[in-house]
Amino acid sequence: MLYQRLAEAYEKIENTSGSLDKIAILAELLREAEASEIEKVIALTLGKLFPDWKGEPEIGIAEKMAVQVVAQAASVPDDEVKKVVKRLGDIGAAAEELLKSSVQMTLLSEELTVSRVFDTLYSVARASGSGSSKMKTSLLVGLLTEAQPLEARYIMRTVTGSLRLGLGHMMIVDSLALAFTGSRDNRSDIEHAFNLCSDLGYVARLLAEEGIEAVRSVSIEVGRPIRMMAAKKLSSPEEIMEKVGGRALVEYKYDGERIQAHKKGDEIVLFSRRQERITDQYPDVVEYVRDHVRTGSCIIEGEVVAYDPGTGETRPFQELMRRRRKFDIEEMTKEVPVRVFLFDVLYADGEDISVRPMLDRRSVLEKIVDKCEDIGLTVGEVTDSAERLREIFMTALDTGHEGIMAKAVHEGSRYQAGSRSWLWIKLKASYSEGMMDTLDLVVVGAFHGRGKRTGVYGAILAAVYDEDTDTFPTVCKIGTGFTDEMLEEFKRRLADYVLDARDPRVVSDLEADVWFEPRLVVEVVGDEVTISPTHPAGREKIGTGGLAIRFPRFTGRFRDDKNPTQATTVADLIDLFEMQRGLR
Ligand code: AMP
């Protein structure tokens, strides 16, 4: 397939606002692609050569190098490129304009194919060590001199990580269903396969080469992360009991980082909730799993919790996040030691355990784990009494836990990869005090600070995730809960995500001073969910207006462990709203 075809589709998608139309355009493109190149088409469309968990190098070209590349390709000085970038607001559009007016050699060169673009970008990503900057630049200049102006626009956006087509994984799943099975009805099979293997390109190729039956037979594999199952939230023990079917495994909810450990012999890999490899951050956890889990191979899940080596007490989640930023991990393992509390097993010695009911899985876990101080199972008890659930909740709080997780134990209580269902329900302290639970919101914009806050942001515009449309509608403007250090940290962290215009996936009636790519997830607590004329979250479903958070405050916690699509959703917000009004 020619890259030109991709570029034209991207342009159309960019100029289309409805998600159904975007899905249709992408489906048409996918239908035309050769089965052997579909993986590359998907990768380029997602703006990532490989899924994160493969541990392949990323393209990530910095602004300065991007400017040099365009300057050399168009034979103009760097300053000229900078000027055009400033005027047009993005390096892609600048490359397009400058190449249009430069005398190019394209007449002599061959047309660019998708494979040629992908392979060159892969070489760029892999170049490392001394002389790699030169190498990267010359590879990209070579590519641009062969590119048509429109192609140059998208190549430059891809390498600088600013493609922003507004196409999330789930919309690509829809497009695949439409392209290869004729309708979106089969989307759930494709989504399920993706949830089991976390590799959409692979699922797409399988679908194109062998059809939907092959996709249905995708199974769990050690070494390939499974998208994690998530919990819903409720505030009353009685309701929780009813929702899970009258009987529940009630476990303490630990405040740490979730990990999925894959073990094959002595080889252990750890994945985060975002399917990133985090093995290097936890050499201690790797050791615990190696020494205390008695299977040849398995996939298990649990929570890693930091504790104080002096007192033995658990430490807050923030402490754990310090490990993410440290290079000297050995030192950190002493400073912030951790324990592991396992709560699930999905695979063991050749058998898919994920399809078994909760208590079966728990008993397999009991059998394979050799418990000790460092690694064991979550504290849990099966009960059919809401009163008992309340007691366990109180004990959980008394012993320094966040709350409880109530898990369904009926025949159908299998592990549901990648979904948030009523099979797992969390109950946290903030509920019982009549306040709202914390929300994980995505920062999409900001307003300049004045007075004491000059130079940093005065307020943050935050959004939830809408799973149906793959968008981020705003829910509040947050101006409180910040210390000076936090404001500095916001400024620093957001610097990488600044955009020149609103991201197409962000839905907002407010005009922010600065827009961001929806990447940063922060924890927020508010007083209640209210109907609002200014915020669009859930507007179509509620009818009278969107939903907003009243009196939102930043809790001080950056949720580095969450992807924007794992933030609080519109559906969660509607649940909370109805709960508040006593509708459920
Ligand atoms: P939240 O981060 O508030 O959405 O809560 C869900 C998270 O709680 C999971 O992703 C786990 O990281 C964590 N968690 C803590 N204890 C448990 C437990 N016993 N079972 C399942 N998840 C737990």
Give strand pairing partners of 426. Answer: 233, 405
Closest atom of ligand 1 relative to the 255 alpha carbon: 15
Task: Give the angle subtended at the CA of 21 by the CAs of 15 and 24, to the nearest 5°.
Answer: 120
| Ligand 1 binding pocket includes 303 (Cβ within 6 Å) | yes
Q: How far apart are CA 118 and CA 44, in angstroms?
A: 7
First to last CA, the chain: 52
List, for residues 463-508, the tens digit of each pLDDT value. Answer: 999 988 889 999 999 988 888 889 999 999 999 899 988 998 999 9
The fold adopted by the segment(s) 48-159 is: DNA ligase i, domain 1 (1.10.3260)
Question: Annotated catalytic, 253?
Answer: yes
DSSP label at 334? H
Cβ pair 577, 547 in contact under 8 A: yes
Average pLDDT over residues 330-342: 90
pLDDT of residue 323: 80
Q: Which of 308, 309, 579 is nearest to 437 (CA)?
A: 579
- What is the dotted CATH code of the domain comprising 234-432? 3.30.470.30
Q: Across the chain, what does the average pLDDT equal?
A: 92
Average pLDDT over residues 1-8: 96
Read off the pTM: 0.83
| Ligand 1 binding pocket includes 472 (Cβ within 6 Å) | no
Check whether 231 has a pLDDT greater than 50: yes
Q: How far apart are CA 171 and CA 177, in angstroms?
A: 10
pLDDT of residue 433: 47
| Ligand 1 binding pocket includes 426 (Cβ within 6 Å) | yes
Give strand pairing partners of 306. Answer: 338
Site to substitute for ligand 1 among 254, 271, 304, most atoms within 8 A of C-beta = 254
Task: Give the angle subtended at the CA of 221 by the CAs of 215 and 223, to the nearest 5°.
Answer: 130
Percent of the chain with pLDDT over 70: 96
| Ligand 1 binding pocket includes 414 (Cβ within 6 Å) | no
CA of 398 to the centre of ligand 1 (A): 18
CA of 147 to the centre of ligand 1 (A): 48
| Catalytic site residue from 48, 136, 253, 477 | 253
Q: How far apart are CA 154 and CA 3, in angstroms?
A: 10
pLDDT of residue 541: 82
Cβ pair 195, 187 in contact under 8 A: no
Q: How far apart are CA 534 and CA 482, in angstroms?
A: 23
- Scanning the structure block, which residue is given the tokens 């001073």? 513
Residue nearest atom 4 in ligand 1 by C-alpha distance: 231
| Ligand 1 binding pocket includes 227 (Cβ within 6 Å) | no
- List of residues 6+ apart from 531 with CB closer than 8 A: 542, 544, 545, 546, 547, 548
Cα–Cα separations (whole angstroms), residue 337 to 114, 267, 375, 417:
47, 22, 12, 30
CA of 253 to the centre of ligand 1 (A): 6
Closest atom of ligand 1 relative to the 437 alpha carbon: 3
Which CATH number, 2.60.40.10, 3.40.50.300, 3.90.1720.10, 2.40.50.140, labels domain 439-580? 2.40.50.140
Q: Where are the domains of the chain?
A: 48-159, 234-432, 439-580
Cα–Cα separations (whole angstroms), residue 334 to 308, 529, 560, 561:
10, 42, 22, 22
List, for residues 383-415, the tens digit of each pLDDT value. Answer: 999 999 999 999 998 888 889 999 999 999 999
- List of residues 6+ apart from 425 with CB closer than 8 A: 231, 232, 233, 234, 240, 243, 244, 405, 406, 407
Tell how far CA 220 is from the center of its chain: 20
pLDDT of residue 191: 97
Task: Give the angle subtended at the CA of 194 by the CAs of 32 and 36, to the nearest 5°.
Answer: 30
Find which of 97-111, 191-205, 520-534 is predicted with most confidence, using mean pLDDT. Answer: 191-205
pLDDT of residue 105: 52
pLDDT of residue 583: 52
CA of 466 to the centre of ligand 1 (A): 21
Q: Which of 367, 369, 312, 368 is nearest to 337 (CA)?
A: 312
| Ligand 1 binding pocket includes 151 (Cβ within 6 Å) | no
Task: Give the angle subtended at the CA of 149 by the CAs of 144 and 155, to the nearest 5°.
Answer: 50
Closest atom of ligand 1 relative to the 380 alpha carbon: 19
pLDDT of residue 584: 47
How would you write 235-260 as a 3-class SS string?
CCHHHHHHHCCCCEEEEEECCCEEEE
Site to substitute for ligand 1 among 258, 402, 428, most atoms within 8 A of C-beta = 258
Q: How far apart are CA 77 and CA 80, in angstroms?
A: 5
List, for residues 502-553, the tens digit of each pLDDT value. Answer: 998 999 999 999 999 999 999 998 888 888 888 999 988 877 789 999 888 8
Closest atom of ligand 1 relative to the 252 alpha carbon: 19
Residue 231: phi and psi, rounded to 5, are -110, 150
Site to substitute for ligand 1 among 338, 343, 358, 524, most atoms within 8 A of C-beta = 343
List, for residues 262-285, the tens digit of each pLDDT value. Answer: 999 999 999 999 999 999 999 999
CA of 566 to the centre of ligand 1 (A): 13
pLDDT of residue 123: 97
pLDDT of residue 446: 96
| Ligand 1 binding pocket includes 354 (Cβ within 6 Å) | no
